Structure 1
């Protein structure tokens, strides 16, 4: 019988178990009745019953470290299952080649070659893209647990990818496991993310951002420990946002690396966080897990009955509508999103996170490709157009999301989503839609429509919002919530901050603040503005050099074709949040192209004096539309315009 490790090793087991169960793609959320855990850092294999240790043995994992890539000669991380038990009753030291005994027996002689001896447990990966699937499949890589002729090296990572054991040990292990038993390989670093519900402190670098702040709040709401830093907070910006985080128990540090010191167990980063950020550098120096924002979100998505909403336009609004519909129907949902829900803001919250006991509704972002990490119960693809990536790239990500969806996939009737529609729950206005909007009555401040004989009213304008509501109705249907139960919640929908948000009117001129930042969203915003304004006076700030460079011609085309003869647009300089972005053009270049196409466009190098100029230009019946993303000060500018109108 193999002895247990000493007490120090046994004490270290609990965080390993937590890390294994907290993996974003873990197929289990509770410790199995019998399972195996390979601790790469300690070079030890544990046989466990629930969270208790039955036995442990020294092992050798790969000399090249941890990784699932084919040809890497690394040990694959994550969850597997024992696929086959090979070699039962074989003599001690039996040599295997291609999983078959050769007839040769090793008798403790010194040999340099790497023999596979005595017993074999083949491993089948259970985590797509990590240890299962093209280019990383553990079974196809022939990764085993097996006996070795290099027993003197056990406790040191020297293998070519397999997990080596002493021959007597592998016999004992073999006799105590069955095919199908789970085995997880836990590695130090990002692969060993602590349990977010535990006492482990997660530090969010850039916690002032919409996505990061939502995750920090949600973790705190779920009983975990969260801290954060943000250079905007260091400059004294947005004190109300800082106060909202602190009220939830999120500890805030200066962004100087101190947040990643002390009892910090993991640092959460986003694609926007660069390695030069002190928190990032300290985490790397200390060897802390660096957890991408999407990995954290994937954890929450996988552990709940979740709805992941993807699409190049409308995600935040559909998330908000779905959340409010479920809440009004008594389903007690949770939400993690990039938009700020007015209903939650009315309760004194930031507005982008809430933790309930029911389904979790999240925004699944395609801009950095992170949506392919998620395994939701209900997956959704609303629409598809060029935004941060090409249409073919985004379509491939949507296909991956569909393949990882656990229950039902929902998609729009957009022709570009055709490959996803077979077997999906389709929403829209056409004959192919399962959730079909009929008898639509658009209005300047809302719309009415019918689905399967049930009449809905929406207090937000625009045809795109009717389509957003159809998506929310489809999501609720996929969760088993009848349309009749969500009529009242959708009629009372409070909206999302900066989604065609009217800030008020003065002198007969309405001022609207909108998040529109890609061509499709700008078209929708301008179309809705035309319903309300005799003239549209638009102000647009491109939200980054990379996206604007990628979509430059699309932006020019959109404004040139969507602005009427009487409409005008002022374009602010491209938003720059710092960092290493290549700033090789100006908004003035886009304005030049737009004016050549006949649009009434003007470059505004700064906001100074622009609010007063807009107020002087505007006349009764006009609508001022401020558009842009990422820059929280745009709302303040829109309010300045309203103040200037009021005199």
Structure 2
């Protein structure tokens, strides 16, 4: 097939496009991100995979296209969409196309409001190392899947198994019909807890095989999910971690008497590993074999990526962007450093408006007297959202609560005063340039030492 992907710069669409190209389809695409930044590093990665890129002005679509797939961020006025309709090309949204793929494979859907990128990537990696050769379509970039022609968010595989990151953000998760599902947790993120609960119940009901759930999550416990297999740390379950030792950048634990080592830090990553262990064990993989492979997994890009760790300073880049993810990250950091500067970029005006109180609560709870929070301007990727909230609406209440918090006008404000903390954590979603910022902070610290 000849498939055109509009919005191909996004993590979800680029994964679909790469997967389609690797499966032998003729793939092209466009993104206004690339139109605005012709030197964007993803451009060379996609073109090396055989994907042809066009300006997002409609010229990449013609009647010879069999299908045009659009990001949900594409507006009705977008030239690509107008051209596809005028040319009579079959149109799908990204979630619609993914739902079709789910039905073509023995799919494992990994859902949850936090941790699904790491869990799905970890599961795909472990299954690959186990010789199961799964396909993988994710939102996060698995470090060990990345090549010059693959961002790391997909793997073609050569079996009938497909592991997907099943995001609830656009509601399409209710259309998936997977063989197995993991539902990790349930907190406020893109929708209310009640609405997300309904979606997760439908996903579980549409799953023909195993439903693996986080047994410690109270919101999940209130869901109506039949025949679930639970994993846990604090409550009883079939796959409960014991003998846990949290180290600075790794963890040790046992499940069913089998010792495991995890090369990622924090309780949240232990939960991610338990989800994979539970599913694989239920599929018949011996715990000992999983334990042999688990330490090899090195993680997902922008999930606790360390840019500097020289004994004097630590610089971490992380995707944490909702209150639950931020809390997990801050708890992990508190076990590592006594003095931390958090640099947070909220993403999107709508999400920031919805989660403002959650942000204020989590930073109020976890910022210590020795910590500092710098809030960058809200990340805006285009669209028609009302710009009626700013980072100052988060910083103000935090200062009133006695926390050290400031809303900056630009990133340059980070460097206007000496960087005196031991640890610096850059956090926020969707904007890959945050990794560049973390690297700039690392270089500044090295130059000053």
Do both proteins adopt the same fold according to a TM-score greater than 0.5, normalized to the shorter chain? yes
Cα offset, 1:506, TM superposition:
4.9
Residue 583 (structure 1) aligns with: 387
* Contact kept in structure 1, 2:337 and 2:423, CA below 8 Å: yes
Note if 1:416 corresponds to 2:216. no
* Contact kept in structure 1, 2:49 and 2:150, CA below 8 Å: no
Note if 1:369 corresponds to 2:174. no
Residue 184 (structure 2) aligns with: 382
Residue 333 (structure 1) aligns with: 134
For residues 600 and 525 of structure 1, the distance between their equivalents in structure 2, rounded to whole angstroms, comes to 18
Cα offset, 1:290, TM superposition:
1.9
For residues 431 and 275 of structure 1, the distance between their equivalents in structure 2, rounded to whole angstroms, comes to 48
Note if 1:490 corresponds to 2:294. yes
For residues 439 and 335 of structure 2, the distance between their equivalents in structure 1, rounded to whole angstroms, comes to 22
Cα offset, 1:516, TM superposition:
0.4
For residues 346 and 506 of structure 1, the distance between their equivalents in structure 2, rounded to whole angstroms, comes to 27
Cα offset, 1:237, TM superposition:
4.5
Match of 1:391 among 185, 188, 193: 193
Match of 1:548 among 352, 363, 375: 352
Residue 532 (structure 1) aligns with: 336
Note if 1:400 corresponds to 2:177. no
Note if 1:280 corresponds to 2:81. yes
* Contact kept in structure 2, 1:516 and 1:628, CA below 8 Å: yes
SS of 2:412's equivalent?
coil
Residue 119 (structure 2) aligns with: 318
User: Which stretch of structure 1 is more off in the superposition, 504-513 or 487-496?
Assistant: 504-513
**May I ask how many residue pairs the two structures share in their alignment?**
444
SS of 1:608's equivalent?
helix
For residues 197 and 346 of structure 2, the distance between their equivalents in structure 1, rounded to whole angstroms, comes to 25
For residues 430 and 53 of structure 2, the distance between their equivalents in structure 1, rounded to whole angstroms, comes to 21
Q: 1:609 to 1:287 in 2, by over 3 A?
A: same
Cα offset, 1:529, TM superposition:
1.2
Q: Counterparts in 2 of 1:552-563, with a 5 A limit? A: 552-563=356-367
Deviations along 1:345-390, whole A, 9 cap, x unmatched? Answer: 2576210000112321110011111111111110121000111111
For residues 35 and 219 of structure 2, the distance between their equivalents in structure 1, rounded to whole angstroms, comes to 44
Deviations along 1:302-338, whole A, 9 cap, x unmatched? Answer: 1111110010000001011111111121111221000
* Contact kept in structure 2, 1:232 and 1:238, CA below 8 Å: no
Residue 572 (structure 1) aligns with: 376
Residue 439 (structure 1) aligns with: 243
For residues 71 and 33 of structure 2, the distance between their equivalents in structure 1, rounded to whole angstroms, comes to 16
Q: 1:306 to 1:347 in 2, by over 3 A?
A: farther
Q: Counterparts in 2 of 1:59-74, with a 5 A limit? A: none
For residues 533 and 226 of structure 1, the distance between their equivalents in structure 2, rounded to whole angstroms, comes to 46
Cα offset, 1:618, TM superposition:
2.0
For residues 260 and 483 of structure 1, the distance between their equivalents in structure 2, rounded to whole angstroms, comes to 50
Tell me which structure has the larger Cα radius of gyration.
1
For residues 258 and 355 of structure 2, the distance between their equivalents in structure 1, rounded to whole angstroms, comes to 40
Higher relative contact order structure (alpha carbons within 8 Å, sequence separation ≥ 6): 2
Cα offset, 1:507, TM superposition:
7.0
SS of 1:264's equivalent?
coil
Cα offset, 1:588, TM superposition:
1.0
Residue 628 (structure 1) aligns with: 428
Larger helix proportion, structure 1 or 2?
Answer: 2
Cα offset, 1:292, TM superposition:
1.1
SS of 1:433's equivalent?
coil
Cα offset, 1:593, TM superposition:
1.4
Cα offset, 1:430, TM superposition:
4.3
For residues 612 and 504 of structure 1, the distance between their equivalents in structure 2, rounded to whole angstroms, comes to 20
SS of 2:335's equivalent?
helix
| Structure 1 stretches lacking a partner, 5+ long | 1-199
Note if 1:357 corresponds to 2:163. no
Residue 269 (structure 1) aligns with: 70
For residues 235 and 329 of structure 2, the distance between their equivalents in structure 1, rounded to whole angstroms, comes to 27
Q: Counterparts in 2 of 1:156-305, with a 5 A limit? A: 200-237=1-38, 239-305=40-106
Q: 1:470 to 1:347 in 2, by over 3 A?
A: farther
User: Which stretch of structure 1 is more off in the superposition, 518-527 or 295-304?
Assistant: 295-304
SS of 1:260's equivalent?
coil
Deviations along 1:54-88, whole A, 9 cap, x unmatched? Answer: xxxxxxxxxxxxxxxxxxxxxxxxxxxxxxxxxxx
* Contact kept in structure 1, 2:46 and 2:149, CA below 8 Å: no
* Contact kept in structure 1, 2:323 and 2:359, CA below 8 Å: yes
For residues 572 and 361 of structure 1, the distance between their equivalents in structure 2, rounded to whole angstroms, comes to 34
Residue 152 (structure 1) aligns with: none
Cα offset, 1:270, TM superposition:
2.1
* Contact kept in structure 1, 2:63 and 2:89, CA below 8 Å: no
Q: Could you tell me the TM-score, scaled by structure 2's length?
A: 0.96
Q: 1:237 to 1:529 in 2, by over 3 A?
A: farther
Q: Could you tell me the TM-score, scaled by structure 1's length?
A: 0.67
SS of 1:259's equivalent?
coil
Match of 2:271 among 440, 462, 467: 467
* Contact kept in structure 2, 1:324 and 1:489, CA below 8 Å: no
Cα offset, 1:420, TM superposition:
4.1
RMSD: 1.5
For residues 117 and 438 of structure 2, the distance between their equivalents in structure 1, rounded to whole angstroms, comes to 21
For residues 329 and 453 of structure 1, the distance between their equivalents in structure 2, rounded to whole angstroms, comes to 21
Cα offset, 1:635, TM superposition:
0.7
Q: 1:420 to 1:324 in 2, by over 3 A?
A: farther
Q: 1:444 to 1:304 in 2, by over 3 A?
A: same
